[in-house]
Amino acid sequence: MKTNPPKFTLKDWSVEERPREKLISQGPQHLSNSELLALLIGSGNQGETAIQFMQRLLVSLDNDLSKLHRISIEELLLWKGIGPAKAVKIKAALELGKRIQGLPAQKKDGCTSSKMAYDTLFSVMTYLHREEFWVLYLNNQHHVLDKKCLSKGGISETTVDIRLLFKNALRLGAIAIIVAHNHPSGVLTPSKSDIHLTKKIKKAGYNMDIKLLDHLIISEKGYFSFADENML
């Protein structure tokens, strides 16, 4: 009589191979991506452990965690062995990891470099499928007063209402701004329209005594800074 293969859980592994015990004894930095994900889901599929299951999932995504972050819950549910509870745990863990990048702004550190501005915006601007335009409003110590998404566009471009941008700046009492938009394509080279928009914002800010400190183009590959490239 044919029987179904057993379902392996983390408890079926020897103690030294279990990711939970490995994390406790050696620290999370010594676990592979598949081991960390296995801890989240707890059990594997029929005939394979949670680690093997996660290894197979990651291989299908070229072992790229950013791709895992981008796929939807509905796509995760297509994998036999991943139900709503497991899919939600995976997405929640990846989102928490991304949000860590935004913590410096919450501590009121000054945005005094393109890297600090990028870290402040990382959690809200990476892994997006559409272009978005964001603004950091800064006080005279370059602390972030607020960060706002001013517009959401298509895959290749978005439009920006410059009047709204500076209306918010005046309301907040900002003396400087850093603007940013993302390129879902991953290409960090500014387009002609990006350069033109930067000049318009800088000119409008000059007339209101609100300085444009930088314009960032952001993607999962990194960022481009107009200020660092002497293009302001």
142-195 confidence digits (pLDDT tens): 999 999 999 987 555 567 899 999 999 999 999 999 999 999 888 899 999 999
Q: What is the pLDDT of residues 53-88, one digit of tens each?
A: 899 999 998 888 878 888 889 999 999 889 999 999
Helix, coil or strand: residue 223: strand
Domain ranges (residues) in the chain = 7-99, 108-225
- Return d(Cα 124, Cα 21) in angstroms, integer: 34
Note the helical H segments in 173-232.
Answer: 192-208
**Backbone φ and ψ of 13, nearest 5°:** -85, 155
Write the DSSP assignment of 84-113 as a string of letters. Answer: HHHHHHHHHHHHHHHHGGGHHHHTT-B--S
The CATH code that applies to domain 108-225 is 3.40.140.10
pLDDT for the residue 157: 57
- Is the four-CA dihedral 97, 41, 15, 45 of positive or negative sign? negative
pLDDT in tens, 98-127: 776 655 544 555 788 999 999 889 888 887
Q: What are the backbone angles phi and psi of residue 224, rounded to the nearest 5°? A: -120, 135
For residue 217, the cross-strand partners are: 181, 224
Q: At what angle do helices 114-125 and 84-99 cross, to 10 degrees?
A: 160
